[in-house]
Structure 1
Amino acid sequence: MVFYCFFLFVIMGVMVLDKMSTFIHCSNVQLSDDSRILPNEYAKKNVFLMVAFLLLFCFSAFRFDVGWDYLAYYDTVKYNIQTNIVGGEEFATILLIELSRSIGIYNLFFVVNSFICLFLIYKTINKYSVDPWLSLLFFLCFPLYFLNSLSVIRFFTALAITFYGFKYIEQKRPIPYIVLVVIAILFHKASLIAFVFYLARYIKLGTFKLVILLASLPVIANLLNGLVLNYLPKYAVYTKETASQEGTKAIVFFLILAFIALLLRKKITDDDEPSRIYLNIFFMGIAIYLMFYAQGTMGHRLSLFGTIYGLLVVPKMISLFNNAIVHFYLKLLFYTLLVAMFLYIINSGAATYIPYRTIFE
C-alpha cells in the first residue's frame, strides 16, 4: 500500500512541477496586443506530462504478478498453455505471444501492450483534453481505467487504439478510422463495437430526446433478451442476466457524470465540434452500459469504448466554470475524490495489487 501511495505522490509531484514551470514561463512572457500565449498551450509543449506517462509505463510494463489476470497471460506466454487468450483468433495478440516466447523474453508481451496503451492514451488526451493533467489523474485513479488495464491487458490495448482513432472521426476520415479499429480487433474482438462510434459526429438529438432514449434502454434490453430466448436460444448466453457483476457499481459514477454533462451540454458543445463528438461518444458508452447492465462484466467492458471519453468530458465540464475560486474548489474536490477511489481500490483489492513486484525481483 505504501508503494502505491508513494507512486501517486510522485505523479502529483510531477504535476506540481509542471504547473510551477508553466506559471513561471507565462509570468516572464511579454504579451503584445495581437499575440497571446495561453498556459495550457505552453503546457502541451513541455516534457512533464510525458515524464508522468513514462512513469505509468514503467509501473505497468515491468510489474510482475500485479493484476488478477497477470499469471494467466504469463503462463500462456512462458509455458505455451492453451487458454482463451490465444483461443480467440486475435492474431496480433497471438503474434506478440509467439514473439515473446520465441526470443525467451516473456515480459516483452507486457512491455509492448503497456507501451501501445499508454502512448496512445497520452497522445489523445494531450491533443484533445483542455486539462491533460486532470485527464491523466482521472485515468490513473478511476478503478476501471489504469488499474483495470493491469488485468485486462489485450482489451486495454485495443481500447487505446480505438480511443486514438478519435482524431480520424473528428477529421472526417473514415478509412483510417476503420483501419485502426480492424487493428484493435486483432488484439481484442470486443473492438468491433467501436465501428458505431464513427456515427457520433452525425448525432444531433435534443437533450430531452436523449434523456428519453437513455431511460428506455434497460426496457429495450429486456425486450431484446426475450426475443433472443424465444427465437435464437443458442445466443441467449450473450444476452441473459448473469450473477457476475464485476465493475457494475461504476454505473452510478458514470450516470452522475452523464447527468451533469446533460445540464452543461449546450455550453460544452457550443462552437466546439470535437467536444460535441466526444460527448456523443461518451453518451453512447453510457447507453451500452445501460443496455448490457444485467450482463455484468460484459456491460462495463463494452461500454468502456465510449466511457473512456470521460477523460475528455470531465476536464471540459470543469473548465466551463470561469470563476477562479469555484474552478479551484471543483478541481480540488475532484482530485480528492480520485485519490480516495485509488486508495480504496488498492486496499479492497489488496490480493490483486499488493505487494507490488517487478520482473527485476
Structure 2
Amino acid sequence: MNNLNNNPTLNYNPFYFTLLFISTVLGFRYDVGTDFMSYIHFFERYKFGINPPDLEFGYELINKLTIYLGLDSWFVFFISAFLINFLILKTIKNNSNNFLLSVIILFGTGFIFLQINIIRQSIAIAFTFYGAKYIVSRDFKKYILFCVLGMMFHFTAFIMIPFYWIANIKWNKTILLLGLFLSLILFLQPNILNVIVKKFLEMFTIPEYEYYIKIIFEKSGGVNSGYRVIFEGLFAFIFILLTPKEMYKYIKGKIYFNFFALSYMSNMLFGRFYVVSRVTLYFSIFQTLFFPYFIYNIPANKKNKALLATLTMIYFSFWTVWAINGNSHDILPYKFVFNR
C-alpha cells in the first residue's frame, strides 16, 4: 500500500487553523442554537446553587471549573467546542488520507451544526471517535478508557463498547446488503418501525432516561423529508454491492467499511425519532475517514480518483449550504458573545 506522505497535495492538512476557526465560531457564539438558553440555565443553576442539574460528571466539571475561575458561561461553550473539535480533527489528521475532504464531509454530515445543541453528546462522540484507533490496534483497555471518558459527558457513549468486536468482524456482503434492504423497508413503513423502536427503547433505556420515550414519539427526529435518507440508503446498497473485497481486507479498511454500512442502516432505522436520531452520529462521523480511505485505495488512476474526490466534496458541500440556508438548529442570525 502506498504511503500517503508521498503525495504532498493529499497530505496538506491545516489542522491548527481549522481547529481555531471552528472552536472560535462555535465557542464564542451568543444566542445561537436551539438549546443555547438551556445550557445557559444549566450554568446559572450551578453558579447560584439553585436546584443544580443532575448531569454527567464531565460536563458538571467544566461548569464548576468555569465558576471557580470566575468566568462566565461563554467559557463553557469555548472549552466544549475546543475539546470536541480537537479530538475530532486530531483523529482526522492522524488517520485520513485527505484532511480537507474529511473536514468537508464533517460539515456535510451536519455534525458541526449539531454540536451547538447537543454539546454533551458531541463530546462523548468525540471521545469514542478518537478512541476508535484502538479498535484498529486491538487495544481494548485503551478503547474502553475513551468510551468511559465519553460516558462522563453523555451516557449514550456506552453503545460504542460492543463495537470493539462488532466493527472488527468481516461481515459477509450478503448480510450487509440484507441489513440495508430491511432498514430501508422499515423506514418506508413507519408504523411498523414505531412499534419495533418503542419495544427496543423500553428494553434498554435506563430509568434516568425513561421520560424520553414518550417525547420521542411525540416529536419528529432528524429526518425532514426522508429523501436524503432514501437516496443515501440506496447509494450504500449499490456501493457495498460493487465494492471489491480488496478494499476492506486490511483491518483499518474493514472497520471504516463496517461503520460506513452501520451509519446508513442506523439512519434509516432511527432517523425519524426525536433524540434517538442523534445516536446515529456515533457511526456517521466515520464517513470522514471512510470516503478518503476508499478514494485513496481504490484501484484507479489519479484522474479518476480526483474526480471521485471532487464529486464527494460537491455532494457534502451541497448539504452544508442547504443546512446554513435552512437555518439548521437556529444557527442564524449568528452573533459573537463580544457584541451581544
Bin for the TM-score computed over the shorter chain = 0.7 to 0.9
Match of 1:180 among 114, 122, 146: 146
CA RMSD in angstroms comes to 3.3
Q: 1:318 is matched with which residue?
A: 295
Match of 2:313 among 308, 316, 335: 335
Letter in 2 for 1:156: S
Shift of residue 164, structure 1, vs aligned partner = 0.3
Q: 2:76 is matched with which residue?
A: 109
Higher relative contact order (CA 8 A, sep 6+): 2
The verdict on how the C-alpha distance between 1:342 and 1:201 changes in structure 2, with shifts beyond 3 A counting, is: closer
Is 1:247 paired with 2:213?
no
Is 1:301 paired with 2:268?
no
The verdict on how the C-alpha distance between 1:323 and 1:227 changes in structure 2, with shifts beyond 3 A counting, is: closer
SS of aligned partner of 1:297: coil
Q: 2:14 is matched with which residue?
A: 48
**Does the 8 Å contact 2:10/2:97 carry over to 1?**
no
Letter in 1 for 2:109: F
**Does the 8 Å contact 1:162/1:194 carry over to 2?**
yes
Gaps of 5+ in 2: 187-191
Letter in 2 for 1:246: G
CA distance in structure 2 between the aligned counterparts of 1:275 and 1:226, rounded to whole angstroms:
34
Residues 1-361 of structure 1 mapped to structure 2, 5 A cutoff = 38-40=6-8, 44=11, 48-80=14-46, 87-105=53-71, 106-143=73-110, 145-216=111-182, 218=186, 222-223=195-196, 225=198, 238=213, 242-248=217-223, 249=226, 251-252=229-230, 254-267=232-245, 269-294=247-272, 296-319=273-296, 320=298, 322-349=300-327, 352-361=330-339
The verdict on how the C-alpha distance between 1:36 and 1:178 changes in structure 2, with shifts beyond 3 A counting, is: closer
CA distance in structure 2 between the aligned counterparts of 1:89 and 1:351, rounded to whole angstroms:
22
SS of aligned partner of 2:275: helix
Shift of residue 241, structure 1, vs aligned partner = 6.9
Shift of residue 173, structure 1, vs aligned partner = 0.7
Shift of residue 227, structure 1, vs aligned partner = 8.5
Letter in 1 for 2:217: T
Shift of residue 104, structure 1, vs aligned partner = 3.1
**Does the 8 Å contact 2:127/2:147 carry over to 1?**
yes
TM-score by length of 1: 0.76
CA distance in structure 2 between the aligned counterparts of 1:220 and 1:123, rounded to whole angstroms:
37
- Per-residue displacement from partner, 1:138-167 (whole Å, max 9, x unpaired)? 112332x11111211111111010000111
CA distance in structure 2 between the aligned counterparts of 1:318 and 1:192, rounded to whole angstroms:
31
Gaps of 5+ in 1: 1-34
TM-score by length of 2: 0.81
**Does the 8 Å contact 1:346/1:353 carry over to 2?**
yes
**Does the 8 Å contact 1:288/1:299 carry over to 2?**
no
Letter in 2 for 1:39: N
CA distance in structure 2 between the aligned counterparts of 1:258 and 1:226, rounded to whole angstroms:
27
What is the aligned residue count? 319
- Per-residue displacement from partner, 1:21-46 (whole Å, max 9, x unpaired)? xxxxxxxxxxxxxx995115x764x6
Shift of residue 120, structure 1, vs aligned partner = 0.8
